[in-house]
Structure 1
Amino acid sequence: MEAAVVGAGGPGLTRWQAAALSAVAGWVWAASFYDLTRRARALVQPWVTRRVHAETTAILRFQRLQHKLLDNFFSVLSCVVSVPFYTGFLPLLFWSGHGKLARQMTLLMAFCDYLGNSVKDIVSAPRPCSPPVRRVTATEDEKENAMEYGLPSSHALNTVCLMGYLLHYVLAYGGHGSVMIAVGLSLAFLLVMLVGIARIYLGMHSLTDVIAGIGFGFVILAFWLAVHDHVDAFVVSEQNVASFWAGLSLLMCFAYPKPEFPTPSFEYHTAFNGVAFGIVYGIQQTYFHFHTPDAPLIFSPQLPLLAFAGRVLVGIPTILVVKFCSKALSKWLLPVMCSTLGIPIVSSCYVPALKVDNSKSKPDVKQGVGYLQRVFSLFPQKAFDVDTGIRFVQYASLAWSVVDLVPAIFTHLNL
């Protein structure tokens, strides 16, 4: 049996888990000490910026095809393959009995979101200039997307990864006929191409952004297909999963690169970081109760369509209530905890009393006294944004409720 690092509370992290966390912590230190983000940006950003500006004429020529039907079609298509859509779709996948597929697509989406947004903020390359490019932002989500940097296209990257994995899953656990494979590949290829065209037509990306997104997507998909079975086995059956994932989630927040100027990308990462942790924690607690391979599937005698509809009607309001309550609780509790520990904090949105006064050179941070405060005073006196913790907690709670609380309610209601 693999040796473990033992702490006072019992079995601790296994050696490989401790080594993995140490490696990430070492990377965080090295990236900060050697200023790797700025160095990488200096190498890549000028070339990408030139490419985006050079492609403006081609984008304008393409947008001469402007038509309201095309505006609506490509806007709807972008919404269907957007992160919020996947977020709403994945709970239904869990409750329909496809637990392994839902777990893998959730973790893959979090992985794609982290890597894609990290590259965006490392490169910090602009989107096509608008004007002269016409930018169509039909939803609030698209307006927020437009505030991010351009390369790579997250829509293209996520579509390649998630549709590619879905196709792999269907072929692996379903039929293997040559006709089905050809149809699946054709549909996946068509969707990726349409998404790429949509992002250019809507003025959200250049051709370089889209090609980079597709390229990164294939690399991430190939890596995930090589490790997904190991990841799933670890999540459902290994020891110290929750503590390891909590440490990893914390370190990944610190490992996230600092963009040239603030964008919503880090907020998206924090949300999916929380979702991944909530799913992993909930699965660890309830795998053998609700998520084994013999769980009833939708359209089976054990889970007819009417029962699934009942699950949706009960489950969606429940997870929204959990998200609301966890946000309210964390907005009160996290500032109190940070104040007790002497951790300097500010709030960019959620806690008005902690918002930064831009007229001051430094935010006023009340420091306590005592042993814990002296320990935290050894760290650099940087004010941390408590909104990051609040956002993480609310999305972790939402994800936990999807795989733990809500299935327990289904059991009590015989759904």
Structure 2
Amino acid sequence: MRGDGNMESNVPWSIALSQVLSLCALLWWIVVASYYNVTQKLRSLTQPWVTERVIEDTPLILKIQSFHNPFLDILFSALSCVVSVPFYTAFLPLLFWSGHCKLARQMTLLMAFCDYLGNSIKDVVSAARPSSPPVRRVTATKDEEENAMEYGLPSSHTLNTVCLAGYLLHYVLHPAAHRDAIHILAGVTVACLLVGLVSLGRIYLGMHSVIDVLGGLVIGLVILAFWLTIYNYVDNFIVSGQNVSAFWTALSFILLFAYPTPELPTPSFEYHTAFNGVTLGMVIGVQQSYPQFHHGGISHICRGQLPVLVFVGRVLVGIPAIIIVKFCGKALVKWMLPVVANTLGIPIRSSSYIPQLNSSVSGENNGSQKVFFTPQDSFDVDTGIRFLQYAGLAWSAVQIVPPLFALLRL
């Protein structure tokens, strides 16, 4: 019995050791990849070939765009919003508040995973989008204008839609073994139709070439297949694992460094920073409040346990609450980070959030990754601000808002 007790007491230490070793392995990879210029070598191998394919695809893009009309412009622009950052900002909290907590956790993690891998590949290859002109590029929203500043391969919209539709299809059909062939066929048809329309829309809008879309499709299928094999293990770790908050905090910070430097600066790293923060906030919030608000027995809107009017009330209360937390958190970290950096003697700059710091780096744009700095360089404090405000946003959605619902009897 004493031996068994010693064995059980050693289990947490073995888990902690494995977590430390995994983080050290990631740090080792960052150092090795930087020392041997892995990003530049991969770019030299892939960029010329992809660029040639993009040029060859131009006649086909122009042929597809020859069918343009206002209706198709609106349709494909609307579809492009399905996997945009504003969509996730609203969609993921609604999943938590409707009782689909496991689905919400998995969708958050999967989208962050897709965003990191997709944008990393974009910035490694650094292949341009189709040239405009002659291609007509339609950017109906500010979000699309920012997307147009990224590199092309792979198409993030295609990649994300494959994973989003595929996992939702799996979530709906997997637990119901009694589903007949008609339900399965209908679900697969809808998923394929959505992926096809989004993919075609990226070409029609002049945002991507055919090779970009095909790359997004293939990479998305690979990510989806991998995720379907590990998602239960990841979810069990988040809700009942050891040292979850500490491990994920360290992992999130390291992932800010484990990102390739693009040939020229793009918004891709900013998107990764935001999703990285969202994931951290979600994981910490769920870990701390899972038994109270996120377990499998909570009220579920699709089972009729959560009335629709109550869910509407949650939305009306929850959305303003997380928006307030986001803006208050942003104001707090904008004040806090410069104070901490100055106290520690860290040179900082700001590209947008703190105007008084802009003058110190006017005209400086060397294309280096924002999060790194050398003795001659400075740290872009916007990275930390963005990371912390999105972490606060997600944390409030899963830990601050649910007690508010309980207080209001929602």
- Aligned residue identity for 1:180: H
Q: Is the 8 A contact 2:245 2:283 kept in 1?
A: yes
Between stretches 161-170 and 299-308, larger displacement belongs to 299-308
Question: Aligned equivalents of 2:39 and 2:365: distance in 1?
Answer: 25
Describe the shift of the 1:37–1:3 C-alpha distance in structure 2 as closer, same or farther (beyond 3 A).
farther
Give the distance between the partners of 1:314 and 1:150, measured in 2 at CA: 39
- What per-residue deviation string (whole Å, max 9, x for no partner) do you get for residues 301-326 of structure 1? 54201111110000000000000000
Please say if residues 75 and 198 of structure 1, whose CA atoms lie closer than 8 Å, have aligned partners that are also in contact.
yes
Alpha-carbon deviation of 1:31? 1.0
Cα–Cα, structure 1 residues 362 and 193, in superposed 2: closer, same or farther, change >3 Å?
closer
Identify if the C-alpha distance between structure 1 residues 2 and 131 changes in structure 2 by more than 3 Å, giving closer, same or farther: farther
Matched with 1:114 is: 116
AA in 2 matched with 1:99: C
1:353 maps to 2:356: yes
Residue in 2 aligned with 1:38? 40
After TM superposition, give the deviation of residue 40 of structure 1 in Å. Answer: 0.5
Structure 1 residues 388 and 201: CA distance shift in structure 2, 3 A: same
Residues 309-348 of structure 1 correspond to what in structure 2 (within 5 A)? Answer: 309-348=312-351
- Taking the aligned partners of 1:339 and 1:78, their CA distance within structure 2 comes to 42
Residues 59, 203 of structure 1: 8 Å contact kept: yes
Does residue 1:288 correspond to 2:266, yes or no?
Answer: no
Secondary structure of the residue aligned to 1:14 is helix
1:403 aligns with 2:398: yes
Distance 1:298 1:57, change over 3 A: same
Residue 181 of structure 1, aligned match among 179, 184, 187: 184
**AA of the residue aligned to 1:236:** V
2:18 alignment partner AA: W
Conservation of the 8 A alpha-carbon contact between 1:41 and 1:123:
yes
Change (3 A) 1:230 1:380: farther
**Correspondence for 2:154:** 152
Q: Deviations over 1:350-371 (max 9, x none)?
A: 11222254568799xxxxxxxx
SS in 1 for 2:55: helix
Query: What secondary structure does 1:176 align onto?
Result: coil
CA distance in 1, matches of 2:83, 2:364: 42
Question: Is contact 1:2-1:14 (8 Å) kept?
Answer: no
Residue of structure 2 equivalent to 1:192: 195
Q: Check 1:56–1:239 CA distance in 2 against 1; reply closer, same or farther (3 A cut).
A: same
CA distance in 2, matches of 1:312, 1:228: 27
> Which consecutive aligned stretches of 4+ in structure 1 deviate over 6 angstroms post-superposition?
360-363
The residue identity in structure 2 corresponding to 1:339 is N
Match of 2:249 among 246, 261, 277: 246
How many angstroms apart in 2 are the aligned matches of 1:414 and 1:347?
43
| Residue 78 of structure 1: how far off its partner (Å) | 1.0
Post-superposition CA distance 1:277-323 (Å, at most 9, x none): 00000000000000010010115554201111110000000000000
Percent sequence identity over aligned pairs: 61
Judge conservation of contact 1:319–1:398 (CA < 8 Å) in 2.
yes
Equivalent position of 2:54 in the other structure: 52
Query: Taking structure 1 as reference, are residues 69 and 386 closer, same or farther at Cα in structure 2, changes over 3 Å only?
Result: same
Q: What whole-Å deviation, never above 9, does each CA across 1:137-193 have from its counterpart, x for those lacking one? A: 000000000000000000000000111001001112345322111111111111111
Gap change, CA 1:387 and 1:176, over 3 Å in 2: same
Question: Secondary structure, in 3 states, of the residue corresponding to 2:208?
Answer: coil
3-state SS of paired residue (2:66): helix
In structure 1, what residue type is equivalent to 2:381?
V
Question: Using the alignment, how far apart are the partners of 1:180 and 1:93 within structure 2?
Answer: 23
Alpha-carbon RMSD across the aligned residues, in angstroms, is 2.0
Could you tell me which amino acid in structure 1 is paired with residue 224 of structure 2?
L
- Structure 1 length as normaliser, TM-score? 0.92
Segments of 5+ residues of structure 1 without an aligned counterpart are: 7-11, 364-377
> Residue type of the partner of 2:348?
I
More helix by share: 2
Query: Equivalences for 1:6-85 in 2 at 5 Å?
Result: 14-85=16-87
Counterpart mapping for 1:126-141 below 5 A: 126-141=128-143
Aligned to 1:366: none
Partner Cα separation in structure 2 for residue 165 and residue 362 of structure 1: 40
Amino acid at match of 2:404: I
Structure 2: distance between partners of 1:380 and 1:242: 32
Unpaired runs of 5+ in structure 2? 1-7, 367-372
What's the CA shift string for 1:114-153, capped at 9, x where partnerless? 1000000000000000011000100000000000000000
TM-score (norm 2): 0.93
In structure 2, distance between residues paired with 1:380 and 1:125: 31
Task: Provide the C-alpha distance between the structure 2 equivalents of 1:13 and 1:246, rounded to a whole number of angstroms.
Answer: 16
How big is each residue's C-alpha offset from its partner over 1:244-273, in whole Å with a ceiling of 9 and x where there is no partner? 001101111101000000000000000000
Would the aligned equivalents of 2:349 and 2:360 in 1 still touch at CA under 8 Å? no
